[in-house]
Amino acid sequence: MFEKTPLAPLDPILGLSTSYQQDTRSDKVNLGVGVYKNEQGITPVLDVVKKAESILLKEEVSKSYLPIAGLSRYTDLVTNLLLGQDHAVIKAQRVGTIQVPGGTGGLRVAADFLFHVLGAKRIWISRPTWANHLAIFKTVGFDIVEYDYYDKASHQLDFAKMKSQLQQAQSGDILLLHTCCHNPTGADLSLEQWSELVDLCRAQQVTPLFDTAYLGFHQGIEQDAQVLRMCAEKLPEMLIVNSFSKNFSLYNERIGTLSVITESADHLEAALSQMKRMARVLYSNPPAHGALIVAQILSDSALCDMWHAELKMMRERIASMRHLLVQALANNKAGIDFSFIEHQRGMFSFSGLSVEQVTRLRDEFGIYMTDSGRMSVAGISQSNVKYLADAINQVL
């Protein structure tokens, strides 16, 4: 039977890394996958993670299975981190969290739960978005409706268009939202716009699913979490998928959470039980190491301070690379004002380059980014920024 299997296309993001590895040019640049790199092009283990691991090495006594919902110490700490420990939904016992294998695992469990248990059939997803969003919800069986999110000409969020299209959403629909540092555009809603969106969700009876993969990459954990806290206060129900891949640099530990907020505390146990049922058939129970690391750090104020400082350092290096790139592109031959790159948030720059320009950068210069023109800014360094800007200038 396998002779009939068609070859799957390369993943639009991870496939780029494979092509990059095979490229033998010494000046190649990888701006594809959203992974933080330091000035030397390395994705380092955070010092705070090393510290936590050294404690775990001494104290860990078992590698037995975790429960389906993961490590409860970890999930409690993460709920407090996301919502703030005094949040009304925590006090009212309206929020529950399970540990999941990364943001991807959380999205898949959420999708199965919404589709198979709650009978949701339609999800609204921003255009553009992270490519895997479309693949995950399509695989589960959802009808996907894309809402316009971004105005390419002005390099800005198009909130008016987004809102007017979302007015077509119907009761029972799901709305996928990026909590902060929208991937790929780096354009986020203001708190006032979030508040308008909350009103829209209530009016249309739409349930939002917040995908939170870059918390702390705009202004810091507390500031970036404001959106979740405000929405959780005003909305009766919502879901939050959270990933620690980027902000703890724990990519290969596959560590994240899925939280559900129910209108009444009475509905919580059933919702969590069904989420666990979905997780059981997907991966049975989550891996422990990442959860132990994060729990170790979040429960120790000195380690927590260290984490915030390292996250700040990553955020600031990315911001300084944005600045250098804008400077290096200042006198480009097409006279394009690239200053918008400095206003984008998070790991990516949505450059506005066309597929043809992206292809030329890859073929002629060994510079890899997604076809959408999204660059992972952390792949830029003092040593390659001039090469990158010169190459972009040549393909403009």
Residues noted as catalytic: 130, 211, 246
Instruction: Name the residue nearer to ligand PLP (CB basis): 78 or 385.
Output: 78
Cβ 248 vs Cβ 46: under 8 Å: yes
Q: Give the binding site for ligand PLP (CB under 6 A).
A: 34, 102-104, 130, 178, 183, 211, 213, 243, 245, 256
> Nearest-CA neighbor of 95 among 71, 79, 84, 112?
79
Instruction: Name the residue nearer to ligand PLP (CB basis): 14 or 309.
Output: 14
CB of 323 to ligand PLP, least distance (A): 23
Instruction: Name the residue nearer to ligand PLP (CB basis): 283 or 387.
Output: 283
Cβ 83 vs Cβ 228: under 8 Å: yes
Please, is 388 exposed, middle or buried when counting C-beta atoms within 10 Å of its C-beta (0-12, 13-18, 19+)?
buried
Angle at the Cα of 27 from the Cα atoms of 368 and 152, rounded to 5 degrees: 30
Look up residue 86 and give its DSSP letter: T
User: DSSP letters of 342-388?
Assistant: HH--SSEEE----HHHHHHHHHHH-EE--TT-EEEGGG--TTTHHHH
CB of 103 to ligand PLP, least distance (A): 3
CB of 178 to ligand PLP, least distance (A): 6
CB of 34 to ligand PLP, least distance (A): 5
Please, is 54 exposed, middle or buried when counting C-beta atoms within 10 Å of its C-beta (0-12, 13-18, 19+)?
exposed
